[in-house]
């Protein structure tokens, strides 16, 4: 037998595989796990947890036995579950599996019968029996000893003792025992029980919760393994908790330091203790999914060298974690400034009170020190601090100790943060955009962790905002569309065609996550293809429209930006704009009600946009796809002075007066325009001039004039007797428009002028109607349904600036809306870039 300090013979390319309880819930999963191990090249070590739920069941049995309650039904359920699995795995009894389990369950039965009056330590090893039974099931699934698989009960080898951080390994004793075991059983494949061990006195103990992972790391080190794979029920270590962040991604690789930080701050896949044994020997650790073995998982290993890290693509932050149920204990005092030992006295008091500190923050002024502690320890921490500084508080040198409950800590972790400018700014900027107030912040000199304390109620929002800041494109927008009519459908078609190119070339990620009409809406968490969106309103996922819920969904906290496109013509929808903008939701619309309606609503929209950060774009309300508003804004923003505007702002009326030359009755042209689809269903909506007046009001307000619709002198081309009659009667009497229009045409022609329907804004006011213009006027040189806007400014006084082109139709209007969407997306913040590579790396 080898001596205690002898090293066991090396296992060539030994690989350790560990399976958790969720991967071993039944016989079928044991077979699947065995297939994963068998697919690897040997030698192989399989470390197993108990079947899912067994450890909890054993703890409940022990508690019932100690309390004198009836534990037998629970015991029988456990026995039957394992025997059923044995029957499925070893039906012919070749491995004597059922017999071995029966014997061990009989021993458990005897132990439970004596627990009520037994020493408290008598049951210390019983919670680990699930791993013992599980190792037998796995050995059988792998083919048993006939296939070369030995079974190693860790209680024969692993020696541990209690330490400050939990159970610590006696490495010398454990190596010696493993050498002895291998001398007896050989150096081939083995199934090892996780979670269980013995102390120095030979008593069976367990390693605590997550102890099976720790066992796997211990045995990877003892066997000098080439790699350790922990098989679980997730694809790897995720960038954040997917239950809170739907866009969480699986991280391909982590350094040991990154994994430790994430594990400490609550990442459930890894326990901090698990990493220590493999880290010391540089053994890579993989996290992989038993149910999705085709996924590569996450590799945890040594950190890359500095120059390699700087070339590494992706976000500087690798993961985000939340620790909840915390409190802030803060010591404040003017007398603390410059006084040596104040921090030592505070932390000594907390240590004496048995309080662990999660986070520390102190300003350079030394005026205050704050500690974040577990909520259950907060009162004890405050009392200990007050006692330690009682004299200073009594003398007025310290103002006291305050306690703030309801705190969570968000930790951002990543080796890529080291030496990367702007990481903290990016994190805090994301939190600010989500309206999350930071109560305290801490960053170590190593730069791989930034921790911020926030209110518990803001924790999820903070996590989602931080994740968006680092993992999503800065130009990712959550989009909701209201009003899938002609313009809305055209917009969806344009989005569907353009999105692949925008994502590839510009990094622009527009996610259509909601669609609504006047009756129904559908909300999709991850986004829907725009081409399929309209059909969803008629599907099972549709629900009654609720614009409050619609906006809340679009504003999803896990996405950095939100945008609502209102393609309706509803004044009711427009009334929601101030609220949406105040919430930071951008609004794009061709709906004229907001820009030309009640002045109070318009003022509220502008104020909300300035205060809330949501941008309001409404280019398509005036010239459809023409850059009318953009041109006006550029003129005014560069210091030009507006003198006047002349505009053909109706495609229908432009077509009518381009065609009207006195040879054909005006009524005939109106009927022809109806047949071509240029007019509204009731042509009076075009002929009234109100739509043109609304556009003129929008332009005037954009120019800084407090103009309302009632301030515009509007000529209605519909004779007064025809304005209130039915549509059918109006169309029957349409010829009544001819004589007045013919008279006006002749009068203009006699002076060499041409009739045009014009919107005019100047120092004398705002007017809409038919005017006679000289032939050289720009409005006399348009084609068909062209819109035209002529700006006369101080710079363009003698030769006005003209914007001309198609200004009507769903396609061009949708293009104008799409242009506003892109303008907002392209104005969003640029990403935080990694530092440049050093000269040797660039070479």
Closest CA to 90 of 78, 104, 102: 102
What residue has token string 């992972």? 213
CA count, 13 A, side-chain hemisphere, 460: 8
Tell me the residue length of the chain.
843
Within 10 angstroms of residue 666's Cβ, the number of other Cβ atoms is 24
DSSP three-state, residue 586 = strand
CA 97 to chain CA centroid, Å, is 48
CB atoms inside a 10 Å sphere around CB 107: 12
| Residue 252 CB partners (closer than 8 Å, separation 6+) | 236, 296, 298, 299
Instruction: Order the strands of the 368-374 sheet from edge to edge.
Output: 357-362, 368-374, 319-332, 400-413, 449-455, 438-443
Residue 80 makes CB contacts below 8 A (sequence gap 6+) with none
Are 363 and 331 spatial neighbours (Cβ–Cβ below 8 Å)?
A: no
- CB of 198 closer than 8 Å to CB of 53: no
Cα dihedral value 360, 361, 364, 367, nearest 10: -100
Catalytic one of 18, 318, 592, 695: 695
Distance of CA 446 to the CA centre of its chain: 27
Residue whose C-alpha is closest to residue 217's, from 18, 37, 41: 18
Count Cβ atoms below 10 Å from residue 52 Cβ, excluding itself: 18
Q: In this structure, are residues 609 and 615 in contact, taking their beta carbons and an 8 Å threshold?
A: yes
Strand, helix or coil for residue 752: coil
Place of tokens 């320890």: 377
Rounded to whole angstroms, the Cα distance separating 22 from 755 reads 81
Task: Please report how many Cα atoms fall inside a 13 Å half-sphere around the Cα of residue 274, on the Cβ side.
Answer: 31
Q: Are 480 and 521 in contact (CB under 8 A)?
A: no
Residue with tokens 């205050």: 368
d(CA 370, CA 402): 9
Find tokens 């209130």 and name the residue.
724
DSSP 305: P
Cis amide prior to 43 (ω within 30 degrees):
yes
DSSP 422-446: THHHHHHHHHHHTT--EEEEEE-TT
Residues 6+ away with beta carbon under 8 Å from 501: none
Q: Coil, helix or strand for 814?
A: helix
With H, G, I as helix, E, B as strand and everything else as coil, classify residue 183: helix
Q: At a CB cut-off of 8 Å and minimum separation 6, what does 163 contact?
A: none
Q: Which residues pair with 455 in a beta bridge?
A: 407
Give the three-state DSSP class for 523. strand
* Angle, vertex CA 596, rays to CA 654 and CA 650, nearest 5: 5
Is 695 part of the annotated catalytic residue set? yes
Per the DSSP assignment, residues forming a β-bridge with 360 are 371
List the one residue out of 28, 205, 53, 201 whose CA is nearest residue 126: 205
Kindly state the greatest CA–CA separation across the chain: 125
Contacts of 154 (CB under 8 A, 6+ apart): 131, 192, 193, 194, 195, 196, 197, 215, 219
Residues forming the active site: 695
């Amino acid at each position: 037998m080898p001596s205690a300090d002898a090293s066991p013979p090396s296992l060539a390319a030994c690989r350790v595989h560990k399976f958790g309880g969720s991967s071993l819930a039944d016989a079928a999963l044991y077979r699947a796990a065995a297939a994963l191990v068998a697919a690897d090249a040997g030698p192989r070590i399989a470390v197993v947890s108990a079947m899912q739920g067994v450890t909890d069941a054993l703890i409940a049995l022990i508690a019932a036995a100690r309390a004198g309650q009836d534990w037998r039904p629970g015991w029988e359920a456990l026995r039957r579950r394992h025997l059923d699995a044995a029957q499925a795995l070893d039906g012919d009894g070749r491995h004597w599996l059922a017999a071995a389990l029966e014997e061990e369950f009989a021993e458990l039965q005897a132990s439970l019968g004596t627990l009520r009056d037994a020493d408290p330590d008598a049951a210390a090893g019983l919670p680990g029996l699930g791993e013992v039974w599980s190792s037998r099931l796995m050995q059988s699934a792998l083919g048993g000893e006939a296939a070369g698989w030995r079974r190693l009960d860790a209680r024969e080898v692993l020696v541990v003792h209690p330490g400050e951080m939990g159970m610590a390994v006696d490495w010398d004793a454990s190596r010696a025992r493993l050498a002895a075991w291998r001398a007896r059983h050989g150096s081939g494949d083995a199934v090892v029980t996780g979670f269980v061990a013995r102390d120095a006195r030979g008593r069976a103990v367990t390693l605590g919760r997550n102890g099976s992972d720790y066992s796997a790391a211990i045995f990877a080190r003892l066997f000098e393994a080439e790699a350790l794979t922990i098989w679980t029920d997730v694809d790897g270590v995720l960038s954040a908790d997917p239950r809170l962040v739907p866009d969480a991604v699986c991280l391909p690789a982590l350094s040991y330091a990154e994994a430790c930080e994430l594990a400490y701050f609550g990442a459930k896949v890894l326990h901090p203790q698990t990493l220590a044994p493999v880290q010391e020997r540089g053994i890579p650790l993989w996290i992989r999914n038993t149910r999705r073995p085709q996924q590569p998982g996450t590799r945890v290993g040594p950190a890359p060298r500095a120059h390699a890290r700087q070339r590494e693509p992706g976000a500087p932050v690798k993961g985000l974690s939340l620790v909840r149920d915390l409190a802030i204990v803060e010591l404040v005092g003017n007398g603390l400034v410059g006084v040596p030992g104040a921090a030592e006295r505070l932390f000594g008091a907390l240590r004496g009170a048995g309080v662990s500190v999660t986070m520390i923050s102190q300003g350079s002024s030394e005026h205050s020190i704050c500690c974040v502690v577990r909520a259950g320890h907060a009162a004890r921490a405050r009392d200990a601090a007050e006692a330690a500084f009682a004299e200073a508080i009594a003398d007025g040198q310290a103002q006291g100790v305050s306690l703030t409950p309801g705190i969570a800590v968000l930790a951002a972790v990543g080796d890529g943060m080291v030496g990367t400018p702007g990481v903290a700014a990016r994190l805090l900027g994301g939190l600010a955009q989500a309206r999350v107030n930071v109560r305290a912040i801490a960053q170590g000199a190593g730069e791989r962790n930034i921790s911020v304390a926030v209110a518990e109620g803001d924790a999820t929002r903070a996590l989602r905002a931080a994740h968006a800041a680092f993992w999503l494109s800065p130009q990712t927008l959550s989009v909701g569309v209201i009003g899938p009519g002609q313009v809305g459908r055209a917009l969806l078609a344009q989005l569907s065609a353009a999105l692949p190119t925008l994502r590839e070339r510009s990094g622009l990620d527009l996610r259509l996550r909601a669609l609504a009409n006047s009756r129904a809406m559908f909300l999709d968490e991850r986004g829907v293809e725009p081409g399929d969106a309209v059909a969803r309103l008629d599907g099972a996922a549709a629900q009654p429209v609720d614009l409050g819920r619609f906006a809340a969904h679009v504003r999803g906290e896990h996405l950095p930006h939100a945008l609502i496109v209102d393609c309706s013509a509803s004044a009711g929808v427009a009334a929601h704009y101030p609220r949406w903008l105040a919430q930071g939701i951008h609004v794009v619309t061709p709906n004229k009600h907001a820009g030309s309606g009640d002045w109070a609503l318009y003022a509220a929209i502008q104020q909300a946009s300035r205060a809330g950060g949501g941008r309001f774009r409404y280019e398509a309300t005036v010239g459809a796809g023409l850059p009318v508003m953009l041109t006006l804004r550029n003129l005014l923003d560069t210091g030009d002075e507006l003198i006047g505007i002349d505009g053909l702002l109706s495609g229908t009326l432009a077509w009518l007066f381009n065609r009207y030359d006195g040879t054909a009755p005006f009524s005939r042209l109106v009927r022809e325009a109806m047949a071509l689809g240029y007019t509204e269903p009731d042509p009076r909506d075009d002929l009234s001039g109100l739509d043109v007046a609304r556009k003129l009001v929008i332009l005037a307000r954009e120019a800084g004039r407090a103009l309302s619709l009632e301030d515009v002198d509007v000529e209605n081309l519909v004779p007064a007797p025809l304005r209130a009659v039915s549509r059918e009667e109006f169309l029957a009497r349409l010829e009544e428009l001819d004589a007045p229009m013919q008279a006006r045409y002749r009068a203009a022609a006699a002076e060499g002028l041409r009739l045009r329907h014009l919107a005019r804004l100047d120092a004398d006011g705002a007017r809409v109607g038919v005017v006679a213009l000289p032939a050289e006027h720009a409005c006399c040189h348009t084609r068909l349904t062209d819109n035209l806007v002529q700006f006369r400014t101080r710079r363009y006084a003698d030769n006005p600036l003209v914007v001309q082109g198609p200004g009507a139709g769903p396609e061009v209007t949708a293009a104008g809306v799409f242009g506003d969407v892109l303008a907002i997306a392209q104005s969003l913040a640029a990403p935080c870039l990694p530092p440049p590579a050093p000269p040797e790396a660039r070479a």
